[in-house]
Every structure is written in structure tokens, then in C-alpha cells.
Amino acid sequence: MNKLVQRVINILKTPKTEWPVIAAEPATPGSIYLPYVLLLSAIAPVAMFLGGGDYGFFRLSTGLLLRAAVAQYVIGLAGVALFALVIHLLAPTFGATRDYTQALKSVAYAATASWLAGIGELFGFGLGMLLALAGGIYSIYLLYLSLPHTMKVPPEKAATYAVVAILACIVVGLLLAFVTRSVGVGAAYSSNSDSPLGRLEQAGRAMEQAQRSGQGGASDAAAAMGAAVSAMAGGKVVEALSSDTLRAFLPETLAALPRRSLEAGRNAALGFQISKAEAAYGEGPRELELEIIDTGGAAGLLAFAGWAQIEGMREEGTRSERTSREGSRIVHEKWDTADKDGEYTVILADRFVVKVEGGADSLADLKSVLREVDLARLESLKGEGG
């Protein structure tokens, strides 16, 4: 597992020196998939499930969310193999060497940035999309750097090779999706217990049961995943804070509004442990919601946002959205000047996510609400757990 973690760090921070190492090392498709692809490609589906499937305008039920997460995982695994095949087949066109295993290396290790960015599924559509965009762009860059080493393509043709391969893979994927829907093969992904999706759902339940009963194989795999993602940020493995600890950060009143409801809990799957506490405040027509998430063992993945230097903004009519950095913190804000409603999120210590949303006279007023939450004290718990 230490080797996997070091590979993740090296491919993200020093790709120009890591690709020659990757190209030269012996490998098989199986050794690339297990454990690298199987573990890292699970980040987005697990984050989707733990995030609760809240996409602002709608929220998925638990059953539908599980099926969506498993389907995303299955399609992702198949997509890696398909993309590698496209790169392999296109090789002669660009004066490269056909070698499926080397093509699979390019796809699997270049995808590292996108897979880590999958942690954005925890935070809803806005911040999640920015993380996904940053991860996707960096993965394309990593693919471009890889091809002269893995596929022996002339450096001056590497950029064209990468772009054509990506476009070809998109076209092939769309055609396969169309054919699949036409002939009804999509039934293979039904919830039937004999289908691939059904079997994966059963495997997921079996793994959760194994974790609860303490059986070695599943619990060891989960622990290894937790250790890996924590080490990505150079930190130690810690549990997410208890729900009682997080709940203590939710004040009795917020912006002079009384607390109407409170909910807190801690969940774990595949080595990712997440604690969450949320409360609703309101009096009359005005309402605010405050949410605090401790990403715990998955905290290392949030460091990707720092590596990617994620910043961006967009405006559409009366709505605006912006992501920026304030010192060591990442800030995401949304505001609608017509409805006087918005959302303000702060990521602390690459671990804690604090979000307030609701109505206010201005975005500045909404931001000021978080002054009533002891963010400094929460940030000081970045190395704590349990």
C-alpha cells in the first residue's frame, strides 16, 4: 500500500520524472487494476454515496443512490479498459508502438487526478464540478506527458495523439451506449441479483457485513484505503470526529434565529469515514441551514484541491458562483441577488467542510453568520479523531 501511495504522490507532483519509471517497470493488466484502479476509481462512487445524493434541486433515495454509485463504479472500470484499447489501436497512426499494457498504464495513472477529484461528490454540484474540471484537465496533461514514454510516440505528436484518443473514446462510448440501449443489453445493469450490478451490490453488502464482524479480508482492505488517502496529504490516519463532537459546534441560535432541528451521525464505507452534523434555524419566513462535515480518513483527498489551485467564477442572470482561496482555506460561495438567497462554504485544514445556506440581505450578511461558529477551534482538531 505504501507503494500505491507513493505512486499517487509522484504522478501528481513530479510526473515528468515518474512516467519513465512507470514505462520501464514490468506490469500486467491485472497488476495495474489491482489494487490501483480498483481502489482509486472507487473514490467518486463512495463519495457520492456518503454525500447523500443531494444535488440541490433533487435528492436521490438511498436505494437509487446505491445503484447509481455501483453503476458509476462498473462503468468507470470498463471505461479504463476501453480507453486503453483506443490508445493501443491508434498507436501506428502516430508512429507509436502498439502495446496494450503500456496503454493501460497511461490511462490508469493519468486518471489519478480525476479520481482524486471525485471527492467533490461529497459537496454537491457547484464545488464538485470545479474539482472535477480541475482533475480532468490535469489528467489530460498527465496523459500527454505519458505517451512518449509508454507508447514511444514522437514527442511532437504526443498532443495530437492524446486529443484524438480522447475524442475517439468519447465517440466509441456514445456508440456503445446507443447500441446497448437499442438491443436491451442495459438490462445487465438491472438490480436483478444475477446481473453484474446485482452481484456487485451483494458484494458491497458482504463487505460491509465483513467490516462489522471483523473478518480480515474486507477490514484490511478498508483500513488500507483509509491509510492510503490519509497519506496522500502527508497526515496520519485518524477517525472522523464523533457526532457528539461535531454537534457541539452547532449553536442554539444562528443570526438570532432559534434552532428548529438537529441531526448528527457518522458513517463508513470502503475505508472512508465521514461525520456530519446539521441544524435548521428559523423564525417566520426566514430560514438558515448549517452543516459541518468531517471527512476523517478521507481528508487526504481534499489536499487535491490545494494541489490543483482550484479557483473559478461564473455569473448567469441574477446568480453568481465563485470558488477562491483565503489563506489556507478554500471558500465556495453562491448568491442570487433576486431571491436574496445563497450558500457559503469553507473547507478547513483539508478536512472539515462548513456550509451555511439560506436567505439574507446580502452575501456579506450570509458570510458573517459563520462568525458564530468557532471555526478556529474546529480547525485546531485537524489531527484529532474518535
Q: CB of 104 within 8 A of CB of 29?
A: yes
Strand arrangement of the beta sheet that strand 272-283 belongs to? 253-254, 257-269, 272-283, 286-294, 352-359, 341-348, 329-336, 319-326, 312-316
Asked whether the predicted pLDDT for residue 310 surpasses 90, the reply is no
Average pLDDT, rounded, for the chain: 77
Asked whether the predicted pLDDT for residue 187 surpasses 70, the reply is no
Q: Residue 342's pLDDT band (boundaries 50, 70, 90)? A: very high
**Res 43: pLDDT:** 86
> Averaging pLDDT over each range in 125-134, 208-217, 328-337, which range is the top one?
328-337
Q: Answer yes or no: do 147 and 14 share one domain.
A: yes
**Please, what's the b/e burial string for 74-92 (b: 16 or more CB within 10 A of its CB; e: otherwise)?**
bebeeebbbbbbbbbebbe
Residue 70 lies in a domain: yes
Q: Could you write out the DSSP letters of every residue in 54-90?
A: B-SS-B--HHHHHHHHHHHHHHHHHHHHHHHHHHHHH
Least confident of 269-283, 298-312, 361-375: 298-312
Per-residue DSSP letter, 153: -
Which of 181, 206, 231 terminates a domain? The answer is 206
Residue 385 lies in a domain: no
Q: Answer yes or no: do 174 and 276 share one domain.
A: no
- E strand residue ranges, 92-207: none
Residue 133 lies in a domain: yes
Name the CA radius of gyration of the chain, rounded: 22
Q: Answer yes or no: do 18 and 161 share one domain.
A: yes
Q: Answer yes or no: do 46 and 92 share one domain.
A: yes
Residue 216 lies in a domain: no
Q: Where in the sequence is the domain holding 190, given as residue range(s)?
A: 2-206
**pTM for the structure as a whole:** 0.55
Instruction: Give percent of the chain above pLDDT 90.
Output: 37
The cell for 181 is 440501449
Q: Answer yes or no: do 170 and 309 share one domain.
A: no
The cell for 197 is 450490478
Residue 197 lies in a domain: yes
Which of 156, 190, 206 terminates a domain? The answer is 206
How many domains are there within the chain?
A: 2
**Res 265: pLDDT:** 84
Q: Answer yes or no: do 173 and 55 share one domain.
A: yes
Average pLDDT over residues 206-224: 46
Q: Answer yes or no: do 124 and 249 share one domain.
A: no
> Averaging pLDDT over each range in 7-11, 102-106, 136-140, 325-329, which range is the top one?
102-106
Q: Answer yes or no: do 61 and 13 share one domain.
A: yes
Asked whether the predicted pLDDT for residue 290 surpasses 60, the reply is yes
Instruction: Give percent of the chain above pLDDT 70.
Output: 70
Q: How many CB atoms lie within 10 A of CB 101?
A: 16
More reliable by pLDDT, 37 or 175 = 37
- How does pLDDT run across 114-146, given as a tens digit for each residue? 998 888 777 665 567 767 878 888 898 999 999
**Res 35: pLDDT:** 85
Q: Answer yes or no: do 275 and 127 share one domain.
A: no
Q: Answer yes or no: do 162 and 17 share one domain.
A: yes
Residue 232 lies in a domain: no
Residue 131 lies in a domain: yes
Residue 229 lies in a domain: no
Q: Answer yes or no: do 143 and 247 share one domain.
A: no
Q: Can you tell me the distance from the alpha carbon of 199 to that of 203, in angstroms, rounded to the nearest whole number?
A: 6
Q: Answer yes or no: do 139 and 248 share one domain.
A: no
